[in-house]
Every structure is written in structure tokens, then in C-alpha cells.
Structure 1
Amino acid sequence: MRTFVAVEITDGTVLDSIKKVQSEIKIPAKPVEIHNMHFTLMFLGEITEEMAKKVQAQLDTIQFSSFDIGFIGVSAFPKPKFPRVIWIGLDQGGEKLVELAKLVEEKLAPLGFRSDKPLKPHATIFRIKNKTGDITDQISKYSSTKFGTQKVSSIKFKQSVLTPSGPIYSDIGVINAK
């Protein structure tokens, strides 16, 4: 099974704001479905059922306090002139999300999992498969747009099934803030 550990974006106001921006940005790209919005803390890839049980047991030992994150601005990776991903960043709580990702990695390292790069907190709102050219003009007007805030009170161990119409995510486990 293909798996990852994430913080879901669940606040209705934030999701409505994201959906509005997705409808306004006109580019040949696939928007991420609103119910799939999340921050990936760690991508684990393909694992067995047996390993999933070990991962869940390790994740269950995580203790963290809930915290707020504030969403602001739209940008692109690797850059707006050659975009592959369009994302929304954070102006509050980003450092706490990074700490949480480090904690997840610390707990899963004994099982052989390592992050390939440090977390740069962002929520992907579009994935771009084909070259689309410079989108600086399209997204620059959203560079300081505020999307709202959300409390992070759980992390989720998730399965991802890839389909032609997009990924289908399901929860394997939930770790709630203490």
C-alpha cells in the first residue's frame, strides 16, 4: 500500500477560500480536490500491511499539543516561470508543522524511513503535468492573500490509491493532540 503521514486541512473557511482561488486561476493544470487538501509530514511510499502496523505503533507514541496555522499567499515550485506545483504557504504555525514532521521522522527512523528533504510547509492546490509557461501574472495577485486559520489537533497515517481520475485517500490511523 502507498502511504504517507499528514495534517489535513479541514477548516471550511480555509477550504472555501482555496476553492475560490482555484476557480479564478486559469491555467492548464489539475486542481487538488478540496477534500484531499493536506500537508505531507512524511511520504512513506509502498509498504506492507505488516509494516503499516509497525508504523502505526510508532506514530501512536507521538505526543504533541494542538496549535494554529495561518494560511497566506500563493506561489509555485520550483518557480512561477517554470511551475510544476502551485501552493499556499503559512504565516503562522509553520515552525510547529516542521517540528511535528521532525517528530514523525524521529519516530519512524528506527523502521528505516527518512525524509528526502526538510519540510517546507505548503498546501498543494494545483499539480502541473505539462509545461505551462510563466504563470507569474496569474498568481502574483494572490501573493499576500489570507485564507484563514485552522487548529492542528491531529495527524493522520493515510493510504493513497492512485486512479486515472486522481488519488483516493483513506485513513489508516489518527493520532490526536494530547
Structure 2
Amino acid sequence: MRTFVAIEISNNDVKNFIKNFQSNLKINAKPIDPEQLHFTLQFLGEISEETGQRVIEALQTIMFSEFTINLKGVGAFPKPKFPRVVWIGTDEKGGRDLIELAKKVENVLKPLGLVSDKPFKPHITIFRIKKKIGDITKELNERKHMDFGMQKVFSIKLKKSELTSSGPIYSDLEEVIAVK
């Protein structure tokens, strides 16, 4: 099964704001369904049911406190001149808190042989771009300081991703709740 560890965007005001933003940004790209918006703390790829169980046990050992992030700013990977993904970032403190949580995830999964192929960069993918669409620097620069609202981080989830012709279908395998 194809899996990843994520933090879901659950604030409906934030999701609606992002949906409006997606509608108003005139680029030739596929918007991500607001119900599927998340931070990927670590992509695990294809793992067996048995490994999945070990991942669940490892994730349950993570202790973290609830924190709040401010979703703000937009950008593109690898760069706005040749975008493949358009993303929303975070405020500095929220970004640091997410990086710290991603490190905790990586540390408990490392003994299982599951390591990140790239360093974690706090972002939510809001568009996937299949075809070359050209330079979108101007469109993004006009919105680079946009504020999308606040999101509480109160849990991390192990998610299963089933790829279909109409896009991925995500389902929850496990949820680890922040300590109070």
C-alpha cells in the first residue's frame, strides 16, 4: 500500500479561503480538492501491511503538544518559471514547529528503514501541474504575502493513498493525537 504521514487541514475557513484562491488564480493546472489538503511530514511510498503495523506502533510513541500555524505565502516547486506544484507556506514559528514534528516522525521511522528522500519543507500543495504552463512568477508575486488563516495542529495521521484516474483517494490508517 502507498502511504505517507500527514497533518490535515481541518479549518473550514482556511479550506474555503484556499478554494477561492484556487478559483481566482488563472493558471492551467489541476487544483487539489480542499478536503485533501495536508502537510506531508514524510512520504513512505509502497509498504506492506506488516510494515504498516510497525509504522503505526512507531508513530504512537511520538509525543508532541498542540500548536498553531499561520498559512501564508505562495510559491512553486521547482521554481515559478517551470512550475510542477503550486504551494502555500507557513509563518516562521509554525514552520519551525512543523519541521520539529517531521524530525520526530523521521526519527521513529528510521529504525524501520524508512527515511526521507529529501528534507521536509513546510508547504501544502494546492495545484499539480502536468503540462508546461510557462512562467507564473508574476501571478505568484502578486500573492506572495497572502494570509490564508490559522490552523491548529492537534494530530498526525498515517494515510493510505490509492491512485485513480480522477486523482488520489486518501484514507486514514492511524491518528496520533497531541498530548494536552
Q: CA deviation at 1:75?
A: 1.0
State the AA in 2 paired with 1:85.
V
Secondary structure of the residue that 2:103 maps to in structure 1?
A: helix
Per-residue CA deviation, residues 26-62 of structure 1 (Å, 9 max, x unaligned), is 1111101111100000000001111100100000111
**SS in structure 1 of the partner of residue 117 of structure 2:** coil
Q: Tell me the equivalent position of 2:121.
A: 120
Match of 1:167 in 2: 168
Structure-1 separation of matches of 2:34 and 2:13: 12
Using the alignment, how far apart are the partners of 1:87 and 1:177 within structure 2? 26
Cα separation, 1, equivalents of 2:67 and 2:121 = 17
Q: How far, CA to CA, are the matches of 2:117 and 2:50 in structure 1?
A: 23
How far did 1:137 drift?
2.0
Give yes or no for the alignment of 1:153 onto 2:154.
yes
Query: Secondary structure of the residue that 1:93 maps to in structure 2?
Result: helix
Identity of aligned residues (%): 58
> Counterpart amino acid of 1:89?
G
Cα deviation for residue 95 of structure 1 reads 0.4
User: How many pairs were matched up?
Assistant: 178
Which aligned pairs between 1:26-45 and structure 2 lie closer than 5 A?
A: 26-45=26-45
Structure 2: gaps spanning 5 or more residues:
none
| Deviating 4+ runs (over 4 angstroms) | none
Who is 1:98 aligned against?
Answer: 99
Paired position in structure 1 for 2:69: 69
Q: Distance in 2 between matches of 1:86 and 1:122?
A: 9
1:41 and 1:143 mapped to 2: Cα distance? Answer: 23
Alignment TM-score, normalising by the size of structure 1? 0.98
Aligned-pair CA distance for 1:142: 1.1
Work out the CA distance in 2 between the residues paired with 1:73 and 1:103: 25
- Residue 177 (structure 2) aligns with: 176
Deviations 1:111-152 (A, max 9, x none): 001111111100000000111001112222211010000110
TM-score normalised to the size of structure 2?
Answer: 0.97
